[in-house]
Amino acid sequence: MKWIKAGGALLITLALAIVFSSQLGPVPALGPLLNPVSGFWQSDGPQHKPHHVWLTGMGLQDSVLVVYDDRRVPHIFARNNHDVYFAQGYVTAQDRLWQMDIQARSGAGTLAEILGEGLVEIDKEQRRKGMMFGALNKLEVYEQDELLMPTLTAYTDGVNAWINQLSHRDYPLEYKLIGHKPAPWTPLHTLVMHMNMASTLASGTSAAGMSNVREALGDDFINRFLPAYPADMDPIIPENTQWPFNPVSPAEVPDAFSPVTLSDANYAFPSPYLGSNSWAVSGYRTESGRPLLSNDMHLELSLPSIWYEVQLSSPDMNVYGVSLPGAPTVIVGFNSDVAWGVTNSGANVLDVYEITFEDESLSRYRHDGQWKETSYVVEEIPVAGGHAVIDTVWYTHHGPVGFLDRENLKGQATQWIAHRASVDLRTFYEINRAGGYTEFVEGLQYFDVPAQNFTYADREGNISLWHNGLFPVRWEGMGDFISDGSDPAYDWNEFIPRDHVPNITNPERGFVSSANQNPTDPEYPYFLGRFFASYERGARINEVLSERYDFTYADMLGLQLDNVSLTARTGLPLLLSLFEEHSSYEELSSEEQQFIEQLRSWNYEMLGDAIEPTLSRLWLTKTRRKIWDQVYSRTDRRPVRYPDNSRTIQLMADADEYEMMLNDFAGGNGSSLPEIVAQGWKETISQLREERGTPDNWNWADVQNVRVVHLGRIDALTRAGIQTHGASEALNSKRGSVGPSWRMVVSLEDEIRAWGVYPGGQSGSPGSVHYDDFIQPWADGEFFPLHFFESGEEAISWIQQGHQTQRVSP
């Protein structure tokens, strides 16, 4: 009896030890998680006041001073370039290790290794996209680069120096929740992070949607309603600019190609919401007589944030700005002489090719009248708590085959500029040290992908903009549709020489600007792609910047927060006047009449606490959908690319063209515009009532639901329902989880002054006060003055004097 009791108690003890150490379904292992000495209780992250530390040993060549200001921005002062990048890796890992790890895994297709079976398909997709293929190609040329490889290695060593000194107790919270530990960093991880950026910004394609539209409606429809050069575009480089060079000629234009449909093929359209604003104003338009530069990049808003603020100082460099966790250098910022910003290019750099295989072995494919050899990579996807999944990815000379129809011996391959070898980070290495315009332009040549509009201003008074990246030389329309992978006319043979890319310096109008719109008018001798951002934001910037000659930095902050919607300004008056022509307009309830009155007197500002933006946006969206559904309902091919708001508004303003559109493309029958607009209104009101109840719940901010989303999709660590102004087509460009991810304004006076803010916080640790402390100022339209110190002594004395950063608003 005694032994039974003792044995029972022992068994229960062991069972408890085992049960509390195991993950049970969604419940993490409670013992390690709740352990007060090393569990989540210890993952608190930084809470403390401004301070400074000296880093020594660990592989550093000298001692490095890191001064944390009151917003926890590290100001790194090193005595050589090795140490500055080592320290950057070290401090970034300290604040953002889990983010770096999970993002690198996401790019490399190794999420299932820590998160289990559910992530296998996502991993597979990344591998078929060639993410690692591109990163490995890049690594080869980095290894040859005498500046960048030491930079990458130093950064990597810094990250690993931080990781190596961690015990379980120090791991970021998320590791404890999933019961995993950080993996060592390598230079390849940094290049995967670069591939992630390329994937976010330059891997969308409309090819499948456009081939479907062409098949159903023909080229006439496309040329009229999905034009490469929209009538209202306000290009980045002003119209009628001369191009003083002899362009490289593309291949001969082949006959139109009709692809077969692959049922599982699935490509992301380029996101119309990812975009950015950037401009530089020359001294003759500013109060100080010196240039002002402004930039805000609209990206997926995440916690931890995509950006990490940092100052890097070494004997040949002193630079401040935002960096990408996982990559050395400053990506957007300024030094004591120059400032630069970026907006994304919509140029088409990913083509989809239909591949015809010889037989079921898939070992050869058709190209240029011959059968050519394929190659393949066997991808092994490790799975936590399960067997590795094997996936074979076939490659043609175009690139990896993402989708296969073995029965019909067809496939679709993608050729993507990001697959090519390039040392893009070298650009930032050079620009971080640039003393003037010549060095800035020399630095640009290394940057291939994702192509950006680099906006530039310096203390000498120059302003400039380069639409910079590697672009294949295309015949007009090449790559707009699914390409014939067997026809060499679709191959990428030549690339636009770097001094031929669209660029402009010190223009007469006194400013340069970009908001992702068409870079040039049709006179530019190269075809870059069909779909750039619609004109609204670009035109608004140009409209405001043309008005005055006494701009101050506060005006620039204010312009970033501008909420005027050109879509509403052009579209709403049309909706209202077309509605008046319809019989139901006379029968509106008194409440609806009140809405109409409000819309009539509205100033088109997309304010969070108003309902006019909600009504206007929803009404126009429904109307647009209804207009084009009359055309697209005649085909069951999907996906299809819809004409954008601006083209729809032009059509609504032209009764004859609308009539023609119905006759030529909708089989001659369709509804009148007043009828469609009236239906759109009715559905707008009923949808709002159904989904949101009474009109006091229809405020724009509630409909937009601006949110900053935790990278691991843990809802409790996401910040949602942020009350703020703005809309995707306004300069204050926000929509759901996309918005200004870093706002910066730089005044290039004798002593550079700068302001910035991003929706997040420097620490990735949810237990830190610095996890989300910038979100409220960001939502309220406030900025922080950025502290750019000349020396470590100045930085230390600044924090010792107990300064506090005071927010500013325009």
Partner 1 sequence: MKASVVIIVLGSWGLMLFLPWWTIIFPCFIAGLIGPDRGYKAFVAGLVASGGLWLALALFADFQNSGVLTGQMASVMDLPVWAVYAATLFVGAVTGAFACLAGYLVLGRGR
Which DSSP state fits 138?
H
Give least dist CB 37 to partner 1, A: 4
From 769, 776, 777, 808, residue interacting with partner 1 (rule: CB under 8 A): 769
Beta-bridge partners for 323: 308
Q: Read out DSSP for 331-394? A: SEEEESSEEEEEEE-----EEEEEEEBSSTT--EEEETTEEEE-EEEEEEE--TTSPPEEEEEE
Quick one: which segment of 77-85, 126-134, 570-578, 766-774 binds partner 1 (CB under 8 A)? 766-774
Residue 40 interacts with partner 1 (CB under 8 A)? Answer: yes
User: Using CB under 8 A as the criterion, what x/- string covers residues 6-35 for binding partner 1?
Assistant: x--xx-xxx-xx--xx--------xxx-xx
Q: Looking up tokens 């998320």, which residue turns up? A: 174
DSSP string, 171-206: S-HHHHHHT--PPPP-HHHHHHHHHHHHHHHH----
Using CB under 8 A as the binding rule, whether residue 325 contacts partner 1 is answered as no
> Binding partner 1 by CB under 8 A: which of 25, 37, 378, 694?
37
- Specify the residue for token string 């697959």: 419
Q: Which is nearer to partner 1, 70 or 683 (CB)?
A: 70
Helix (H, G, I), strand (E, B) or coil at 286: strand
Angstrom distance (rounded) from CA 711 to CA 302: 6
Q: Which of 356, 662, 767, 784 binds partner 1 (CB under 8 A)?
A: 767
Residue closer to partner 1, measured from CB, 8 or 488: 8
Task: By CB under 8 A, tell whether 764 contacts partner 1.
Answer: no
Please state, as a whole number, how many other Cβ atoms lie within 10 Å of the Cβ of residue 242: 5
Render 512-525 in DSSP notation, one character per residue: EEESSS-SS-TTSS
What angle (nearest 5°) sits at the alpha carbon of residue 263, between those of residues 258 and 265? 80
* Per-residue tokens: 212: 């479907």
Please, which of residues 250-279 interact with partner 1 by CB under 8 A? none
Return the residue of 236, 317, 327, 717 that touches partner 1, per CB under 8 A. 717
Picking from 562, 469, 69, the residue whose alpha carbon sits closest to that of residue 277 is: 562
5 binds partner 1 per the rule CB under 8 A: yes
Query: Is 603 an interacting residue with respect to partner 1 (CB under 8 A)?
Result: no
CB of 304 to partner 1, least distance (A): 13
Of the pair 6, 388, the CB lying nearest partner 1 is at: 6
Using the structure block, give the residue that is written with the tokens 């994937």: 199
Could you please report the per-residue DSSP string of 75-93?
EEE-SSHHHHHHHHHHHHH
Could you tell me which residues come within 8 angstroms of residue 592 by beta carbon, excluding any fewer than 6 positions away? Answer: 681, 685
Pairwise CA distance, residues 276 & 745, whole Å: 14
Q: Which 153-192 residues touch partner 1, going by CB under 8 A?
A: 173, 177
The C-alpha atoms of residue 205 and residue 201 are separated, in whole angstroms, by 11
C-beta of 172: minimal distance to partner 1 in Å? 11
Residues 674-713, mask of contacts with partner 1 (x by CB under 8 A):
----------------------------------------
> By C-beta, is 31 or 477 nearer to partner 1?
31
Kindly write out the interface string for residues 62-81 of this chain, putting x where it contacts partner 1 by CB under 8 A and - elsewhere. Answer: --------------------
Among 238, 329, 716, 796, binds partner 1 (CB under 8 A): 716
- In angstroms, the CA 766 to CA 468 distance is 37
Smallest gap from residue 117 Cβ to partner 1 (A) = 22
Q: Among residues 536 and 772, whose Cβ is nearest to partner 1?
A: 772
Q: Shortest Cβ distance from residue 183 to partner 1 (Å)?
A: 20
Residue 658 makes contact with partner 1 by CB under 8 A: no
**Is 502 near partner 1 (CB under 8 A)?**
no
Task: Pick between residue 12 and residue 253 the one whose CB is nearest to partner 1.
Answer: 12
Site residues (CB under 8 A) for partner 1? Answer: 2, 5-6, 9-10, 12-14, 16-17, 20-21, 30-32, 34-45, 47, 173, 177, 714, 716-717, 765-769, 771
